[in-house]
Structure 1
């Protein structure tokens, strides 16, 4: 019929109800969104997560109060090890005692030590629960939980010494993997008035129950710091005015002939077998040796540290 024809492919206008449109979304979708933000600002990107983590670490922390992080909790298992840890003052949070345990002398002594010290929770638990906590180790009905050690930051050790008006004396351990050696070093540092010990974050001994025992309680007053990169830590010490002295069997100078021992000092001790690692050795200002006329090739790290610290103390008090 004339006048009523519709153009081909055109939607009829007699449809009931409102017509659904895009609301302008199609047009806005064609508009540009501006330059792509950097990866650190894009939510979910790995660089964004790293930036957020760094920001959280810096919040509320003054420049000289940076922490070196926490260690991991540890379980001491067995009647004799638990008793010895309590006797030697190893810090603990909880003593787990198996239900219906045979109450022998070691158990009674451990319970008394835990009660006398205070601050240690006494928990009774069935054997399956202790098996689960210890991963099936032979716990003999006694399990002692050691809290995570609060490591200092390496910068804090030198800063604290300077704040007290003292010349920093810090021992840095390179490749020491035996916790008993670490404890012995902490004990020597405490005995000779040092300001702390630095250990690498990886492939090195940490402050475990064994290290606490070897320190004979001195770990409670001598801070241990953990460094993510030992070479960078030594470089930072040099910028802070410390002389970095490395102890090596092939050192150029006898320890007694080093004049810098009476000033700000970082002493680096390597492992008995491998000595100082290459980069750490190259970072040292001077490499020294301990003369050994008896012909021994090397000394235990704890013993070597004690000798060097004695010589340092003698020079400082002369």
Structure 2
């Protein structure tokens, strides 16, 4: 659709259908999700993702140029429609409908595994951490949808730069040494030698289930000499992933 067509309103069928992708049920049924913002759209296009359609405000000339170069359909929408499509306040867009990338479990990389992490923002931050250090990413049943719009926003484009895959549990991680992140009683990550690691990060409040942590090859705890009881799951996991990556570099 070209930029001369009249902007679509909030009740337009294409807008209504796309807005439903904020619901997990509709994402599962359609195999589609939403991404919002120019950076995520650029990252998706750079990864070879072709959106089903892109919704943009009439004055969003950068999006019209980018979409034209990529041969992507753009639908002009009124602000009320953009507000319905977007998951943020005072959205500028664009919003795109995409299919998530195919699942890939790459045993040539260390792996960050989200185990039952239910908050999409935390989950997206974990994906971003994995990408920052060149790790792969996996998630278990009971974890939030890593391809939800909120997780995509928190990932800031990381979803399109690393291999990602669901796993059923520890049985799928046999090609890695498993390392459980625990609040207390684990080893200092600085003491963990080089290996091919799968680091398991649990739900922020409850952490990993005891039986899962016990079944891992080793357990690790971030030292906190300041006396803080615990760290945000993204912060704690980021420290562990950074330290293990540094440990590997020191042995090369």
TM-score, structure 2 normalization: 0.69
Pairing of 1:26-37 with structure 2 (within 5 A)? none
Which whole-Å deviations, capped at 9, do the CAs of 1:123-164 have from their partners, x for residues lacking one?
257999x69x96xxx9989773431313414xx311xx1xxx
The structure 1 residue matched to 2:183, chosen from 249, 255, 259, is 249
SS of the residue corresponding to residue 113 of structure 1 reads helix
From 69, 76, 100, give the equivalent of 1:149.
100
**Cα displacement (A) at 1:71:** 8.0
Q: Deviations over 1:200-235 (max 9, x none)?
A: 2434242223323322323211122112x22xxx23
* Unpaired segments ≥5 residues, structure 1: 1-68, 77-81, 98-105, 162-167
Cα distance in 2 between the residues matched to 1:70 and 1:280:
31
State the match for 2:134 in structure 1. 193
The structural deviation recorded for 1:172 is 0.6
1:180/1:274 Cα in 2 relative to 1: closer, same or farther (>3 Å)?
Answer: same
SS in 2 for 1:249: coil
1:190 CA displacement: 2.0
- 1:284 counterpart (216, 240, 248): 216
Which residue number corresponds to residue 258 of structure 1? 192
C-alpha displacement of 1:315: 1.0
How far did residue 70 of structure 1 move? 9.5
Aligned length: 210
- For residues 76 and 236 of structure 2, what CA distance do their matches in structure 1 show? 44
* Alpha-carbon distance in structure 2 between the residues aligned to 1:235 and 1:249: 24
Is the 2:39–2:157 Cα contact (8 Å) retained in structure 1?
no
Query: 5+ unaligned residues in a row in structure 2: which ranges?
Result: 1-27, 45-50
Give the 5 Å matches for 1:4-15: none
Partner of 2:21: none
Say whether residues 1:174 and 2:111 are aligned partners. Answer: no
CA contact (8 A) 1:114 1:120 kept: no
Structure 1's consecutive aligned runs of 4 or more residues displaced over 3 angstroms after TM superposition are: 69-72, 87-93, 124-128, 138-143
Aligned pair in 2 of structure 1 residues 249, 119: CA closer, same or farther (>3 Å)?
farther
Secondary structure class of the residue paired with 2:59:
helix
Q: Of 122, 142, 147, which residue of structure 1 is paired with 2:74?
A: 122
CA contact (8 A) 1:151 1:226 kept: no
1:226 aligns with 2:166: yes
Write out per-residue CA displacement over residues 235-292 of structure 1, whole angstroms, 9 at most, x where no aligned residue.
3423x2x210000102332222223xx1111110112211002342232111110011
Match of 2:227 in 1: 295
SS state at 2:106 partner: helix
How big is the alpha-carbon RMSD for the aligned residues of Structure 1 and Structure 2?
A: 3.3
Residue 74 (structure 1) aligned to one of 33, 50, 56: 33
- Give, in angstroms, the shift of residue 301 of structure 1: 1.9
In 1, distance between residues paired with 2:119 and 2:113?
15
Cα distance in 1 for residues equivalent to 2:132 and 2:93: 33
